[in-house]
């Protein structure tokens, strides 16, 4: 009997995250909007009958952007400052056999467009274009385990940085998106401090950048404060 199985994407998720750096390290930490676009064959409204009664769904996906890097027996979780190793199966690291990921997200609404289903979700920790391989409802009566313990990550990460926007960044934001969503998203993401642990407390003049929603967001950290320096659109004509 073979022990190899093949998987095919049933859809792809669209998120504002255009690179790995800056993506929250778990789902639900930031209220970011995403859309799971189902592929033909898996996009019929009948397949989703009943799902709209659930507030959250489990999304199984492939960490497709690290397939080439393979996997490691031991990894250094960012939660331990990146200087202590744990067994890969004690972590949520993307560098694992089969590169399968699992995230719980809020199901905002189910949309049918030209007969094809799209799931609007909130809180994904996934790169734009991540292949989705399964979707199932989150069942609170079994999935919410009241006496569970959290190993080396017993508490939510503390929001470490206070975020301020430079005048230039505020002006750019106003032009790009007068509504507050992009500003709020940048504020929440930068506050989570995506810098690798070994950088923290060092190199205060270093500028960090993240590609988000068609923009390049740049910021600097001094003490416990992050200053968003600029938000440049990739194509200002858009």
Decide: is 65 part of the binding site for ligand SAH (CB under 6 A).
yes
Rule CB under 6 A: choose which of 34, 77, 101, 123 binds ligand SAH.
101
CB of 104 to ligand SAH, least distance (A): 8
Decide: is 165 part of the binding site for ligand SAH (CB under 6 A).
no
Q: What are phi and psi of 171, to 5 degrees?
A: -65, -45
CB of 102 to ligand SAH, least distance (A): 5
Rule CB under 6 A: choose which of 44, 51, 58, 64 binds ligand SAH.
64
Q: In the chain, where does DSSP find H-type helix?
A: 140-143, 167-176, 181-191
Decide: 127 and 27 in contact? Cβ < 8 Å. Answer: no
CB of 172 to ligand SAH, least distance (A): 25
In this structure, how many other beta carbons lie within 10 angstroms of the beta carbon of residue 209? 15
Tokens found for residue 25: 């390290």
Scanning 24-32, 145-153, 176-184, 207-215 for contacts with ligand SAH by CB under 6 A, the matching segment is 24-32
CB of 105 to ligand SAH, least distance (A): 9
Helix 181-191 with 167-176: angle, nearest 10 deg: 130
Cβ neighbours for 166, distance < 8 A, ≥ 6 positions apart:
227, 228, 229, 230
C-alpha span between 194 and 212 (Å, rounded): 14
Decide: is 121 part of the binding site for ligand SAH (CB under 6 A).
no
Report the length, in residues, of the chain: 238
The residue among 32 and 169 lying less far from ligand SAH, judged by its C-beta, is 32
Task: Enumerate binding residues for ligand SAH (CB under 6 A).
Answer: 20, 23-27, 63-66, 92, 94, 101-103, 125-127, 130
């Amino acid at each position: 009997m073979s022990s190899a199985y093949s998987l095919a994407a049933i859809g792809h998720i669209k998120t504002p995250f255009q690179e790995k750096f800056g993506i929250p390290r778990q789902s639900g930490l930031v209220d970011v909007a995403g859309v799971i676009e189902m592929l033909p064959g898996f996009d019929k409204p009948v397949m989703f009958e009943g799902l709209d009664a659930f507030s959250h769904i489990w999304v199984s996906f492939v960490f497709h952007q690290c397939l080439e890097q393979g996997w490691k027996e031991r990894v250094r979780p960012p939660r331990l400052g990146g200087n202590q190793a744990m067994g890969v199966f004690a972590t949520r690291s993307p560098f694992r056999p089969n590169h399968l990921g699992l995230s719980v997200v809020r199901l905002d609404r189910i949309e049918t467009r030209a007969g094809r289903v799209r799931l609007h979700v909130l809180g994904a920790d996934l790169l734009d274009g991540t292949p989705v391989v399964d979707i199932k409802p989150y069942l609170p009566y079994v999935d919410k385990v009241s006496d569970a313990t959290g190993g080396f990550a017993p508490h939510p990460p503390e929001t470490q940085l206070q975020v301020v926007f430079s005048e230039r960044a505020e002006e750019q934001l106003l032009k790009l998106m007068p509504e507050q969503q992009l500003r709020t998203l940048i504020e929440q993401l930068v506050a989570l401090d995506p810098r690798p642990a070994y950088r923290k407390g060092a190199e205060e003049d270093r500028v960090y950048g993240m590609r988000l929603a068609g923009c390049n967001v740049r910021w600097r950290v001094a003490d416990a404060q992050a200053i968003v320096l600029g938000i440049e659109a990739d194509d200002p004509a858009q």
